Amino acid sequence: MDFALSGEQAAFVATARGFAADHLAPHAATWDEQRQFPAEALRAAARLGFAAIYVPESLGGAGLTRLDAALIFEELAAADPSTAAFLTIHNMVAWMIARFAGADVQARFLPALLSGARFASYCLTEPGSGSDAAALTTRAVAHGNAQYRLNGSKAFISGGGVSDLYATMVRTGGEGPRGISCVLVEKGTPGLSFGVPEKKLGWNSQPTTQVHFADCPVPVANRIGAEGEGFRIAMMGLDGGRINIAACSLGGARACLDLARAHVQERHAFGRPLADFQALRFKLADMATDLEAARLMVHRAAAALDAGDGDATLRCAMAKRFATDVCFRICDEALQLHGGYGYIRDYQVERYLRDLRVHRILEGTNEIMRVIIARKLLESA
């Protein structure tokens, strides 16, 4: 097993780090404070191939692996976890279209998504179902042979109102997961509307809203996969999404560790640098060790997904659960090491802490990750 980056990986990691330093880091605090959606920065990322990281080259994407994506998202999130996280969602939708849609749907939607001319959101969660995604009630009823009419609502949708395309899980059949299909709903479709942007703790560079459908006409040709395949598509998307959001946690935690390390070397107390105190040295040592352990789990899960291993879902759930919990704790410890300064926005640590807190909830809460892990363990016993 080789833990060293290949020459190609080192090159795109350097590109991502440079992009983050030039295009994200100088503006992240302003986007957060003013709740600005950084459309131009996202389009600049798309020009580097970061809007279609694991879409095949044959369809215009970068054709990289899930491990490659984890490396890139860590670098982007080290500057701005919120913006990096939105890009992971956009990538997930682009991949779903590339993997499961027909050639006509790919030709109609992928070019604009890959270039950043259009942005995409993922609509699964509903106000009344939460973690029980298979119980969703948004319904698509056939209207003739060529059209569905959608009715229902989705909740906590990142990019709600600013995205141009919504990959939406709807019920086309009976109860349970086998009655769910996936359709693409375009912004501007009659009957599609958005709630007021939520006032959130973090992730303020991307709006989060409810998405409503009221007799919303959607062509049957906009369906991804066959009827009844939506839940399987959604869950496969979430395996990769869990790796991506864990990678964003790695980036945020790494940035906080770097900030804390610099602070304890510069700040003095009782006539000595804080870094001279053994208690604080040990804290830094634990933070660095935990970060490295989380990174290894994320990379192992990504490699399993790339290889199509049978235990990939288990490893993705483990990595997401462990990395998002551990990385949030690293941010919290970094804030503590800053003392009162950590609580002040000028020192950035509080922004990372606010942004990483939601990672333990989305893409399946960490309690649901434990359910998945336990189920997989018992299935193999």
Active site residues: 363
Packed helices 312-337 and 278-307: angle between N→C axes, nearest 10 degrees:
160
Count of residues for the chain?
A: 381
Whose structure tokens read 């019920």? 171
Residue 311 is classified by DSSP as T
Cβ partners under 8 Å of residue 129, min gap 6 = 135, 136, 137
As beta bridge partners, residue 268 has 273
User: Are the beta carbons of 190 and 217 closer than 8 angstroms?
Assistant: yes
* Residue 85 near residue 206 (C-beta atoms within 8 A): yes
Nearest to 168 by CA among 242, 101, 231, 103: 231
- Alpha-helical regions (H) of 78-203: 81-100, 103-115
Give CA–CA dist 263/26, Å, rounded.
20
